Structure 1
Amino acid sequence: MIPSRVWVISDVHIDYQENFDRLVEFAERGHLSDALIVAGDATDRLDRLQELFSVLAENFRHVLFVPGNHELWVRRSGHEDSLEKFYAIKDLCQRTGVKTEPVLMGDFQKVWLVPLLSWYDDKDQPEHSLYVEKDYAEDRTDEMWGDFIHARWPDDLDQPLAQLFADENERHLRQEFDHPIISFSHFLPRQDLIFHKDLAAALELARKFDPLPEFNFSRVAGSARIEAQLRRLGSTLHVYGHQHRNRQRCLEGVTYLSHCMGYPKERQRGHVAAEAIHPKCVWRDDTGFTL
């Protein structure tokens, strides 16, 4: 009997036809017993997102999704603001059979798949921000980051965006989970996941080799609110995306995994591994976790 499996991927950016074709090709190989987690940044076009969801839902037992920042851009959408578009995406998920709620997976061993909505805390939220100051360059992130141009939020919001999305997760956190948990978010939950070395060594390298010193990714990387929530859940594995740097680390008893497809040019340059064109299997119900 073929085991059921859990596959993960993020940042599939299907406006690149090559990325769309690779993901569809993988889906059509036969995964009717499997679950696929897509951890955000597929496209800002709802028609294209519907096309992807329809293909994936036909070929997987479960497809789970959380939006990334690109999904909430309002260009080309006709939506008044990004919050309105967020609710349109939730409606699209429901209509196409894509899950945005926890799913219990497995016929022999079992695992819970738990989505965590998220956004980032900028440096004006120091308690939760992943911000690291670059002391060697002028910060021009406000002029360079696409969200500050293409996303638009209601004027009467009275809380940080990261808190708004964290509040949406509370109903999951109140649920009782009786099996191991794979949680997933689009944004990073910890500052140390930004770097592949310790902070001091990373900053020293950046001073010498930073290709874009005026852009500070740490301002828009994620939020410690995500970390607090996955710890409350008791996650064994947490999957995230956003940075287009694929890493696996075990920190304080939790395995953190980033498996981003990224842009074709990033794969060509080796910034993203060539095998990231396909989802990664992280769990099977005959053997458990595969990492």
Structure 2
Amino acid sequence: MHLLALSDLHVADRTNRDSIAQIADHKNDWLILAGDIGETEEHLAWTFETLGKKFARLLWVPGNHELWTTPKAPELRGELKYRRLIDICRAYDVSSPEDPYPVWEGSPEGPCIVAPLFTLYDYSFRPDHVTRADALEWAKEHDLVCADEFLLDPYPYPTRDAWCAARCAATEERFTSIDSSLPTVLVNHFPLRAEHAWLPAIPRFSIWCGTRRTHDWHQRFRARVVVTGHLHVRTTRYLDGVRFEEVSLGYSRQWTQSRGAESYLRTIL
């Protein structure tokens, strides 16, 4: 048995979609899908239908792309869009941040809670000298504006910052009620630490990459491994004895197509 992970499948990209369809059967393995599957309900359903037949269990967390309000469904925005995505997960028996955290028992090191999270971001991954009020202008100085500014509606929250704060508070409360004797695998689309949100080509994109509220979660919540995506920069890091895995596939220009998407599945446990 293996606990595997992949994020940022972006199945609207035909090359990605075709290669993901060719992933082999992993009947005894679980697969973490760490966000940015696509932008529409069809993207999510197709992925769950396709990969659900190949893996013993799927686990999913939302990325920013899944939360976009699209012209095809303008009424689905913010929390309403998120709840619709949860409905799709339940229709395909996919574990989400709204379900009980499953326990992985396939490792010789012992059982481990796999915790799908949804935290969003609050623009706090910025230098200390840049205020929140100036964060967007700071990014624009390098001609950066994330599409979320136009497509990711925080309704009913007044801002994405407020939605992020609510999600983090709810997650922290939830961790008070899980088995404290077990280590965890923390799964989030966005990096948990600011120094991990490093994009050499576009460093000021960091403000759309996470929240400092999660800075110590790998220690507070007993993480054995932290799994994230979003950056399209695949890395393995270690901090405080915890392994941090960025598991993005990315757009078709960002991975070696001759290898196939199969080769980008990352073994977590």
Q: Normalising by structure 2, what TM-score?
A: 0.83
Counterpart-to-counterpart distance in 2, 1:250 and 1:281? 15
> What letter is aligned with 2:224?
T
Counterpart residue number, 2:139: 139
Percent identical pairs in the alignment equals 23
Shift of 1:173: 4.3
Shift of 1:180: 3.1
> What letter is aligned with 1:153?
P
Q: Secondary structure at the match of 1:139?
A: helix
The answer to whether structure 1 residue 247 and structure 2 residue 235 are counterparts is yes
The answer to whether structure 1 residue 103 and structure 2 residue 102 are counterparts is yes
Question: Structure 1 pair 155/117, CA: closer, same or farther in 2 (3 Å)?
Answer: closer
Question: Structure 1 pair 62/227, CA: closer, same or farther in 2 (3 Å)?
Answer: farther
The 4+ residue runs of structure 1 with deviation greater than 6 A are: 273-276
Counterpart-to-counterpart distance in 2, 1:155 and 1:62? 32
- Decide whether the 8 Å contact of 2:7 with 2:33 is kept in 1: yes
RMSD: 2.8
Which of 7, 23, 26 is 2:4 aligned to? 7
Equivalent residue pairs, number: 253
Question: Structure 1 pair 263/37, CA: closer, same or farther in 2 (3 Å)?
Answer: same
- Decide whether the 8 Å contact of 2:30 with 2:55 is kept in 1: yes
Counterpart residue number, 1:94: 90
> What letter is aligned with 1:112?
I
Shift of 1:231: 2.5
5+ residue gaps, structure 1: 123-128, 197-205, 284-291
The answer to whether structure 1 residue 186 and structure 2 residue 189 are counterparts is yes
Counterpart residue number, 1:120: 121
Per-residue displacement from partner, 1:232-265 (whole Å, max 9, x unpaired)?
Answer: 2110110111111111111122111101100111
Counterpart residue number, 1:21: 18
Counterpart-to-counterpart distance in 2, 1:263 and 1:134? 33
> What letter is aligned with 1:5?
H
Counterpart-to-counterpart distance in 2, 1:163 and 1:131? 17
Question: Structure 1 pair 227/174, CA: closer, same or farther in 2 (3 Å)?
Answer: farther
Per-residue displacement from partner, 1:94-126 (whole Å, max 9, x unpaired)?
Answer: 11110013111225633321111111111xxxx
Whose radius of gyration is greater, 1 or 2?
Answer: 1
- Decide whether the 8 Å contact of 1:13 with 1:43 is kept in 2: yes
Counterpart residue number, 2:35: 40
Counterpart-to-counterpart distance in 2, 1:107 and 1:238? 17
